[in-house]
Amino acid sequence: MNFMLAGADPAHWDRVQQMATELHVGCSLGIHPWWAGKMTTEQIEAAVTNLAARHDHDAVGEIGLDWARSPEGSPERDAQWMAFGMQFEHALAQNYPIVLHVVRAYPEVLGVLAAHDLPVAGGMIHGWSGDPDFVEMAVELGLYVSFGPRLASSGRVREAIKRVPLERLLLETDCPDQPFAGQTRGEPADLVRVAECAASVRSESIQTLLQVSGENARTLFPTLE
């Protein structure tokens, strides 16, 4: 099974890329909103300049906005906006697929994509946590929509996955984050349990969902072939 490693902090990009090479897996590099909110303007600009000069990754991400981590009007929110905008422009210019982290900011992120379109290479929202009513817009914009362990605990997320067409559906673990109840950390093997939750909600077979999710992931990230 192939998979993607994500570098969320510019300080860790080199190590993440090295691990991806050693393991022969995909690699996504980006400034995650949690880290972006702690960075200065100069640090964000330097990091994105570094990212634009690299050609050792398969996607840009996780990028996006997380309003749970930054109150309205805060410098942290401004820094998230800056990092998201600059990285999105980089992905458009060099045609990288994007991996989006969105929490309590679905109208804002989807609004940016609606105004500028996706990179031709495409993109995904990882670990969906938003209102089901935003699913249709995400799909119409051409995004893949990915679901993880929140399926086991959130009725809103379970309702959202019902609205995603198979050809746009992805399953994930987000390990080591998002552990299931009773676990101390997420693990790659949790993907089977995620598929079980999705199959129960969608009334489809686990095998079908795992197969389709894999095919969709390889379409979005051709290096996973």
* Domain parsing of the chain, residue ranges: 4-224
Of the pLDDT bands very low, low, confident and very high (cuts 50, 70, 90), residue 15 is: very high
- Mean pLDDT in residue range 136-145: 98
From 150, 95, 155, 152, select the one nearest 126 (Cα to Cα). 150
What's the CATH code, domain 4-224? 3.20.20.140
pLDDT in tens, 165-205: 999 999 999 999 999 999 999 999 999 999 999 999 999 99
pTM over the 0.75 mark: yes
Residue 139 Cα to chain centre, angstroms: 14
Q: Left (φ > 0), alpha (ψ -120 to 50) or beta: where does 95 sit?
A: left
Q: What is the DSSP letter of 101?
A: E
